[in-house]
Amino acid sequence: MPHPAAPPLAFFATLSIQVAPAHEIGQTPAGNRRVIPILGGRVQGDGWAARVVPGGADFQAIVTPTLARLDARYVLETEAGELIYVCNRAIRVASREVTARLVRAEPVDPALVYFRCAPTFETAAPSLAWINERLFVGSGVRLPDRVDIDCFTVL
């Protein structure tokens, strides 16, 4: 039997998420816990746009000196007023030194960081219902005051 071809990707949107300084919970059994409030932001898709609704958060665990597990939850509101719930799970891997700089919210060269995510999008909006039935992947960049993520639909 032939193997199926690798699925192609199609651009979905670029998310630019404004964040506040982290609440440092400290070392727990799951790692160094941090909660980073989401302040807002913008989303630009192919033919559509939205805003990031303030009030979500990125729940992080720095599990080793080089690995962070991220779990962000927030809401998008399209220009038409439609709401989209986002659950974005990611991993961020970098050297010990670069990870320490990221934790301190210092700028780093994105080429030094492996930052990949698997966001899910949920909505009740009939015009966007298709996003409930697709897989997405993304690649992110952590900047001092925001996170930029390019998201792609797995076709």
The verdict on residue 1 lying in a domain is no
The verdict on residue 33 lying in a domain is yes
- Res 46: pLDDT: 87
The verdict on residue 3 lying in a domain is no
Indicate which CATH number applies to the domain containing 78.
2.40.160.20
The verdict on residue 4 lying in a domain is no
The verdict on residue 141 lying in a domain is yes
Q: Which is higher by pLDDT, 86 or 127?
A: 86
Alpha-carbon separation of residue 88 from 26, 40, 100, 141 (angstroms): 22, 15, 22, 14
Return the H-helix or E-strand segment holding 91.
Answer: strand 83-93
51-97 pLDDT tens trace: 999 999 999 999 999 999 999 999 999 999 999 999 999 999 999 99
Instruction: Grade residue 1 by pLDDT with cuts at 50, 70 and 90.
Output: confident
Cα four-point dihedral sign 21, 27, 28, 29: positive
10, with CB counted inside 10 A (0-12, 13-18, 19+), is exposed
Q: Kindly report the CA angle at 141 between 36 and 69, in degrees rounded to 5?
A: 50
**Residues 86-109: what's their mean pLDDT?**
95
The structural domain count of the chain equals 1
Residue 18 has pLDDT above 90, yes or no: yes
Contact status, residue 45 vs residue 12, Cβ threshold 8 Å: yes
DSSP 37-55: EEEEEEEEESS-EEEEEEE
- Res 51: pLDDT: 98
Chain centre to alpha carbon of residue 97: 22
- Enclosing domain of residue 25: 9-154
